[in-house]
Amino acid sequence: VQLVESGGGLVQAGGSLRLSCASSGSTFSIDTMGWYRQAPGKQRELVAVITSAGDLTHYVESVKGRFTISRDNAKNTMYLQMNSLKPEDTAVYYCNVADYYNFAAMNAWGKGTLVTVSS
């Protein structure tokens, strides 16, 4: 499975970005998917997860109310709408297939997309 992230960039605090994750996998429509991020000097962390049908989502506490995860199975694409961005959201953002029960990433990581939020 090849996952390609896009949509990152430089934005001022309070701004918005929309990330996309395009999948080449044939099982995308039945995979639980997640967004993860790694800030400079920190471990990679889960940001949000969405079930295969898009009916259930989970967010890390720090992004609740600001980020929205969604997917379009017809396009094999997942999205992350990020609003009210904060400097602490600065990180490389990755997408991956996620374990349904513990949200652990299941595949090798792609290149990610860099989000930089200036204060």
Cα–Cα distances (Å) from 97 to 84, 86, 109, in that order, read: 26, 26, 10
Lowest mean pLDDT among 7-11, 24-28, 55-59: 24-28
pLDDT tens digit sequence for 47-80: 999 999 999 999 999 999 999 999 999 999 999 9
Interatomic CA distance for residues 18 and 110, integer angstroms = 18
